[in-house]
């Protein structure tokens, strides 16, 4: 076995490495040309072929994004792996062997469509490869470069990048020991919203066979009108005309700073007349329902039968919103009236809904109640709606509570990731999981993801409106039947 194996791809040979554990790694492989210069704000273009073997020992550049350097409350909880450069439409592959025909998992990272990368060390695919799966992680365009649209040109460039990466997998993965006929695309947060959008996009049809959505579903999109509101304000912040051409002339650091200012403005004054749908979820850059690439909101397309042939596993964390309320100190400042106003804003019967959540949580603070209601509105109920719309979907909930912030962080957003990747020992995850996270939870989740990618069965029955079975992952994992039925019923007809 060579310590520097070479694989031939459509655009040239790549030279990988073999770890002491016998896992082959290939990093920083371009799947599209650098999205700069004439390729800026264009659909992904093929990379230039390279004549000599390309070294694939190190991660490639990541998409331009704001830095998390400093002492902010989320800085330690948002690990990054920063490599600067233009050629950031690249991917990474981990495989146990080159002569196999193994299931393939393709991971789409989260980060509110403005941050993150496929090269965060915690996404290392060694343990997936150890267990007989080829793991691929990808980068894609973020922020304005990926999702800015004024109504002309091609929208949803970030999603088109993901489709280009999946096309690369279809065309090349057999050389890395993967089966192009058995591809599962999975993602977390914005990555989960992405994979649900891909499930609804005609251009992605046939590129994958299964979907896993962690903490995101088919409801997070914006209209063309909202996209124009966001783009126009971004241009005003920059002092340029509201066109892609004008924004393309702005230096990248200035554009990133303007995107950050825009997000702060939305958070400070979340008014629908100013920001459209973005006023509800506070994410300025999201997939756009343009009527062509994304013909309708994903949940509507899926309910109408889009992706009917694709197996789906979807789930959420029990206390998603605590990530955004606890480290910032916001949870301690929430009052009862704020909880009632939020319940009404989210579509719950304000007093009856908040009262039910309070009755089910004796001793809960207003911050606890807001976290529970916001979690269900934005994550749990959309996941159940998608499961109801797509027959045969499997549902899970991650319930293990982090010890961080004196155990107040709870089963928060993104906490499941080190368990899914079985990378509990990664130092970047220590602020999340503490000193002694339960290995048995990682064993259970990691195996379920592998089993699902292999044959579509994660190990428990599918969710149906008649038999609402889900798997709860905790120190003692077990299936549940219509958990919190009374709270679920409050959301009937909503989200």
Catalytic residue annotation: 189, 320, 413
Distance from C-alpha of 118 to C-alpha of 62, rounded to nearest angstrom: 8
**286 close to 114: Cβ distance less than 8 angstroms:** no
Could you tell me which residues are beta bridge partners of residue 12? 9
The answer to whether 138 touches 94, Cβ cutoff 8 Å, is no
3-class SS string, the chain: CCCCCEEEECCEEEECEECCCCCEEEEEEECCCCCCHHHCCCCCCCCCCCCCCEECCCCCCCCCCCCCCCCCCCHHHCCCCCCCCCCCCEEEEEECCCCCCEEEEEEECCCCCCCCCCCCHHHCCHHHHHCCCEEEEECCCCHHHHHCCCCCCCCCHHHHHHHHHHHHHHHHHHHHCEEEEEEEEEEECHHHHHHHHHHHCHHHCCCCCEEEEECCCCCCCECHHHHHHHHHHHHHHHCCCCCHHHHHCCCHHHHHHHHHHHHHHHHHCCCHHHHCCHHHHCCCCCCECCCCCCCCCHHHHHHCCCCCCCEEEEEEECCCCHHHHCCCCHHHHCCHHHHHHHHHHCCCCHHHHHHHHHHCCCCCCHHHHHHHHHHHHHHHHHHHHHHHHCCCCEEEEECCCECHHHHCCECCCCCCHHHHCCCCCCHHHHHHHCCCCCHHHHHHHHHHHHHHHHHCCCCCCCCCCCCCEEEEECCCCEEEECCCHHHHHHCCCCC
* Residue 465 backbone dihedrals phi, psi, to 5 degrees: -60, -20
């Amino acid at each position: 076995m060579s310590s520097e194996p070479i694989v031939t791809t459509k655009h040239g040979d790549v030279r990988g490495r073999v770890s002491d554990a016998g896992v082959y790694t290939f990093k920083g492989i371009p799947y599209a040309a650098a999205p700069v210069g004439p390729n800026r704000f264009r659909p992904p273009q093929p990379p230039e072929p390279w004549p000599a073997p390309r070294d694939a020992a190190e991660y490639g550049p990541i998409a331009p994004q704001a830095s998390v350097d400093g002492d902010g409350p989320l800085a330690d909880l948002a690990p990054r792996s920063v490599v600067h450069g233009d050629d950031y439409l690249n991917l990474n592959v981990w495989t146990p062997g080159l002569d196999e025909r193994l299931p393939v998992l393709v991971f789409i990272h989260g980060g509110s469509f403005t941050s993150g990368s496929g090269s965060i060390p915690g996404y290392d695919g060694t343990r997936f490869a150890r267990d007989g799966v080829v793991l691929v992680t990808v980068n894609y365009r973020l922020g304005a470069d990926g999702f800015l649209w004024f109504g002309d040109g091609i929208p949803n460039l970030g999603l088109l990048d993901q489709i280009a990466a999946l096309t690369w997998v279809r065309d090349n993965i057999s050389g890395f020991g993967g089966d192009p006929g058995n591809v599962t695309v999975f993602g977390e947060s914005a990555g989960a919203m992405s994979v649900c959008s891909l499930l609804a996009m005609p251009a992605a049809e046939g590129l994958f066979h299964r979907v896993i959505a962690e903490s995101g579903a088919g409801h997070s999109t914006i209209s063309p009108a909202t996209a124009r509101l966001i783009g126009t304000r971004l241009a005003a912040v920059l002092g340029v005309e509201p066109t892609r051409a004008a924004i393309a002339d702005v230096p990248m650091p200035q554009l990133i700073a303007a995107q950050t200012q825009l997000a702060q403005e939305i958070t400070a004054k979340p008014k629908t007349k100013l920001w459209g749908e973005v006023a509800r979820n506070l994410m300025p850059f999201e997939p756009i329902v343009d009527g062509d690439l994304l013909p309708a909101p994903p949940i509507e397309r899926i309910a109408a039968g889009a992706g009917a042939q694709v197996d789906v596993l979807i789930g959420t964390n029990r206390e998603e919103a605590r990530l955004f309320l606890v480290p910032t100190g916001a949870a301690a400042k929430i009052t009862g009236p704020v909880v009632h106003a939020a319940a009404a804003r989210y579509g719950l019967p304000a007093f009856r809904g908040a009262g039910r959540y309070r009755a089910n949580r004796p001793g809960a603070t207003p911050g606890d109640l807001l976290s529970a209601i916001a979690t269900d509105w934005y994550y749990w109920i959309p996941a159940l709606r998608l499961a109801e719309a797509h027959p045969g979907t499997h549902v899970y909930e991650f319930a293990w509570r982090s010890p961080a912030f004196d155990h107040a962080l709870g089963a928060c957003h993104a906490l499941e990731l080190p368990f899914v990747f079985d990378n509990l020992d990664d130092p970047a995850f220590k602020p999340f999981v503490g000193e002694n996270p339960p290995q048995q939870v990682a064993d259970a989740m990691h195996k379920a993801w592998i089993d699902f990618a292999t044959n579509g069965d994660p190990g428990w029955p599918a969710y149906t409106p008649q038999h609402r079975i889900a798997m709860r992952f905790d120190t003692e994992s077990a299936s549940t039947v219509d958990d919190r039925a009374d709270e679920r019923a409050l959301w009937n007809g909503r989200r």
